[in-house]
Chains A and B, each alone.
Chain A
Amino acid sequence: AEALKASRGPYATDEKLTSLEDVTTYNNFYEFGTGKTDPASNSGNFKPKPWRVKVDGLVSKPTEFDIDELIAQMPLEERIYRMRCVEAWSMVIPWTGFQLSELLNKVEPLSSAKYVAFETVVRPDEMPGQQGLFQPLDWPYVEGLRLDEAMHPLTILAVGLYGETLPNQNGAPIRLVVPWKYGFKGIKSIVRISLVDKQPPTSWNMQNAREYGFYANVNPEVDHPRWSQATERRIGEDGFFGSGRRKTLPFNGYGEQVASLYSGMDLKVYY
């Protein structure tokens, strides 16, 4: 990984960081396997460079960006965010990236654009989880945000963590980070971002709509049908004995910044 120059952004938590070791060996990235350590073990052949990201759809200036140029020209910031997985564990991760809004403004969304759709690369040769009989999801992995969520200053495209470019298992070379939503919204190894007028399909929602909604806002009040979302285990902090499950906060603790996006919506319906 290469070092990245970044300024410290305004949205940093002062909570204890999850160790680089845990952040890079405990991952959900099904393109490399369904086990937590699979992405670290199976992503060695993945080539995150050269890389291009196409931004198209309902925009005035559809553009294909080269990842190196993007990293060179975007204002990189370090954002220390809590990450809450839908499986009820959490981490604190120092991301390096830029606001998605900066990129979207470059391509000038049309007024008809209402949503943003994202797509992950499909490379069975380099991604063993995309091979074989037992495939847990349909590829490509797709995700989506409402345009106002995508334009929110907390929403970033991350190109690094711990001050260096992203390791393959964390979604190299570029991934989405939306800290008030469950981790699966943070689509990895993005090749395409499209502005669209209808709510786009999303991978986990297609896999099981009852369990994974489009919004997927962290919400201790709305349980996953099979487990509780009221508490979470902070990875690497609580150890083996004296487990300290902590209370999960609405919008993962970012309610002050984002709750207004959902005023008037029943979050039990739009989960």
Chain B
Amino acid sequence: MALTDVARLAKRRGDALIWALYGAGLLPALWYFYLGSTGGLGADPVKTFERHLGLWTLRFLILTLTVSPLREIFSINLIRYRRALGLLAFYYGVMHFSAYMILDQALDLNTVIADIVKRPFITIGMASLALLIPLAVTSNAWSIRRLGRNWMKLHRLIYVAAAGGAIHFILSVKSWPAEPVIYAAIVTILLAWRIVRPSFLRWRRSTQTKAPRPARSAS
């Protein structure tokens, strides 16, 4: 088999995996929607549904942010799946907001707008979702080419969105239950990595004879 054939085959398999990721990634939403419509989400199904969609938004944001540290620290390269992970986070954010607006508030736009303006936790959640819109819109190859260096700068907005999402979760509950605190801790670690990354890479370059490729990615 010629080398180009192997490369083409690998690429095709990679593409299939990406589509599988989209499919699998959307399964939780379908599953909880099914449970909700058949009475399987407990006493307060709307709130539970909302909460699950929000949790998956945060999980996909975290997975997206994990891609580059995995490569930089452990040389595991999952960069080709990052766009799907980021878009899944965006889709879940949109579904989370839609569930709140349609199922919870029954499209009472006055209340929704009042909530967004007046309630810090909803303001922060909404702002975080809004920040993901330009990232989703420019997630295509054409935008990446077109925006060049600015694309990387723009996509750093995911840091703000992830921090906002974690704060939104903490502010939505009473007292300090473990779950939102754990999510916030994970996001904090992933963001802190971006701060220490330059010194880490410099240190590793100085200790290794063969320098690793410098990190160019913005994520």
Q: Decide whether A and B are members of one complex.
A: yes
A contacts, CB < 8 Å to B: 21-22, 25-26, 30, 34-37, 86-87, 89, 134, 136-137, 204, 207-208, 211, 223, 225-228, 230-231, 233, 235-236, 238-245
Known: A36-B44, A233-B44. A227 touches B121 (CB 8 A): yes
CB distance from A153 to the nearest CB of B (A): 30
When distances are taken between beta carbons in the complex, the residues of chain A under 8 Å from B121 are 226-227
Question: By the criterion CB–CB under 8 Å, are A245 and B106 in contact?
Answer: yes
B44 close to A226 (CB less than 8 A): no
Minimum CB–CB distance from B83 to chain A (whole Å) comes to: 32
Q: Are B37 and A241 in contact (CB under 8 A)?
A: yes
Measured CB to CB, the closest approach of chain A to B39, in angstroms, equals 8
Give the interface segment out of B85-93, B174-182, B191-199: B174-182
In the complex, per-residue mask of B120-140: 1 if CB is within 8 Å of any chain A CB, else 0? 110000000000000000000
A227: chain B residues at CB < 8 Å are 115, 119, 121
> How many Å from the CB of A247 to the closest CB on chain B?
11
**A37-B42, A89-B47, A243-B105 known, 11 other contacts, Cβ within 8 Å:** A34-B173, A36-B42, A134-B177, A136-B175, A208-B175, A227-B115, A228-B118, A231-B111, A233-B44, A240-B49, A241-B103
How distant is A21 from chain B, measured CB to nearest CB, in Å? Answer: 8
Instruction: Out of A21, A136, A208, A240, name the residue touching B45 (CB < 8 Å).
Output: A240
Residue of B nearest to A33 (CB): B177
Which of chain A's residues have a CB closer than 8 A to the CB of B171?
226
Tell me the complex Cα distance, A207–B177, Å: 13
Is B114 an interface residue, CB under 8 A from the partner? yes
In the complex, are the beta carbons of B106 and A243 less than 8 A apart? yes
- Please report B residues at the A interface, Cβ cutoff 8 Å: 36-37, 39, 41-47, 49, 103-106, 108, 111, 114-115, 118-121, 171-178, 181
19 contacts between A and B (CB under 8 A): A26-B42, A35-B177, A36-B44, A134-B176, A208-B175, A226-B120, A227-B115, A228-B114, A233-B46, A233-B104, A236-B43, A238-B46, A240-B36, A240-B37, A240-B41, A241-B37, A241-B103, A243-B103, A244-B106
| B-chain residues with CB within 8 Å of residue A25 when the two chains form the complex | 42-43
**Within 8 Å CB of B174, what residues of A?**
86-87, 136, 204, 208, 211
Chain B residues positioned under 8 Å from A226 (CB to CB): 119-121, 171-172
B104 touching A243, Cβ below 8 Å: yes
B107 (CB) vs chain A CBs: closest residue? A243
Shortest Cβ distance from B132 into chain A, in angstroms? 22
**Shortest distance between the CB of B172 and any CB in chain A (Å):** 7
In the assembly, what is the distance between CA of A227 and CA of B114, in Å?
10
CB distance from B30 to the nearest CB of A (A): 14
Report the nearest A residue to B182, measured CB to CB: A134
Query: Contact at A34–B44, with CB atoms within 8 Å?
Result: no
- Report B-chain residues with C-beta under 8 Å of the C-beta of A225: 120
Q: How far is the CB of B133 from chain A (nearest CB, A)?
A: 25
Q: Which residues of A contact B45 (CB under 8 A)?
A: 239-240
Q: Tell me, rounded to whole Å, the shortest Cβ–Cβ distance linking A142 to chain B.
A: 15
Query: How many angstroms from the CA of A120 to the CA of B21 in the assembled complex?
Result: 49
| Contact present for A30 and B175 (CB under 8 Å) | yes
A136 to B173, CA, bound (A): 11
Q: B42, B43, B111 — which one has the most chain A CB atoms within 10 A of its CB? A: B43
Please give, as numbers and ranges, the residues of chain A lying within 8 Å of B172 by CB-CB distance.
226
A245 touches B105 (CB 8 A): yes
Cβ of B43 and Cβ of A36 under 8 Å apart?
A: yes
Whole-angstrom distance between the Cβ of B51 and the nearest chain A Cβ: 10
